[in-house]
């Protein structure tokens, strides 16, 4: 479920996300998923009465994947591109958000400072993992915050705590951002299990 919080501070559910399985069902989805492919339906209601949007993979492989977000009538709402770290154009995962009639917004996963801290303590990760299990605290995670900018202006801000995406411009289409949240959460890494990777 994806929730939207307005100025009143009250969250309301705007989309219910579900995998859209290809022929071959869950095994085929999971096999394609390993290449970066994803396919989701964002339902407008919990009874699956109408679609708000659909996420389809246009291309995936070699660490770069391109997704299109389609509206209920099949119209293109936007395009999302994920370039995996060291596979695309840098040492951090790069996410590009494109909207019809608007420029591209580019965001990088994590700040370089926090990646340096993460890499420096990587040899201690097994001990940190065990400590987290015994103390019943959160498991260690890689830096996840992403800020998208276009023309020097902040467009979107993904905060890892609570998986919150803040819209910084009023003209954004919430369906594109809801699809982006579903995609980001499907790439949760390290010790977490992504919502779309279940075998049932």
| pLDDT, one tens digit for every residue, the chain (200 residues) | 888 887 677 888 889 999 999 999 999 999 999 999 999 999 999 999 999 999 999 999 998 999 999 999 999 999 999 999 887 677 888 999 998 888 799 988 876 655 565 556 666 666 656 665 666 655 555 667 788 888 888 888 887 666 677 777 666 788 998 999 999 889 875 555 688 988 88
Distance set, CA 56 to CA 21, 38, 59, 76, 79 (Å): 11, 7, 9, 11, 10
Query: Is residue 10 within 8 Å of residue 33, measured between CB atoms?
Result: no
Question: Rounded distance, CA 200 to CA 197, Å?
Answer: 9
Distance set, CA 149 to CA 6, 108, 177 (Å): 22, 10, 14
166, containing H or E segment: strand 164-167
CA neighbours closer than 13 Å in the CB half-sphere of residue 159: 7
């Amino acid at each position: 479920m994806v929730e939207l919080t307005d100025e009143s501070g009250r969250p309301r559910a705007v989309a219910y996300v579900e995998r859209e399985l290809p022929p071959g069902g869950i095994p085929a989805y999971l096999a394609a998923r390993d290449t970066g492919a994803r396919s989701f339906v964002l339902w407008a209601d919990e009874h699956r009465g109408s679609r708000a949007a659909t996420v389809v993979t246009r291309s995936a492989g070699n660490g770069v994947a391109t997704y299109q977000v389609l509206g209920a009538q099949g119209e293109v709402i936007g395009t999302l591109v994920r370039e995996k770290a060291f596979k695309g154009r840098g040492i951090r995962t790069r996410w590009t958000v494109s909207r019809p009639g608007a420029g591209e917004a580019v965001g990088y996963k994590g700040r370089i400072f926090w990646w340096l801290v993460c890499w420096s303590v990587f040899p201690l990760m097994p001990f940190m993992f065990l400590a987290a299990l015994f103390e019943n605290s959160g498991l260690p995670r890689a830096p996840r915050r992403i800020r998208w900018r276009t023309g020097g202006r902040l467009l979107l801000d993904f905060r890892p705590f609570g998986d919150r995406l803040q819209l910084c411009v009023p003209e954004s289409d919430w369906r594109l951002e809801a699809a982006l949240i579903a995609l980001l959460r499907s790439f949760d890494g390290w010790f977490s299990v992504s919502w779309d990777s279940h075998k049932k």
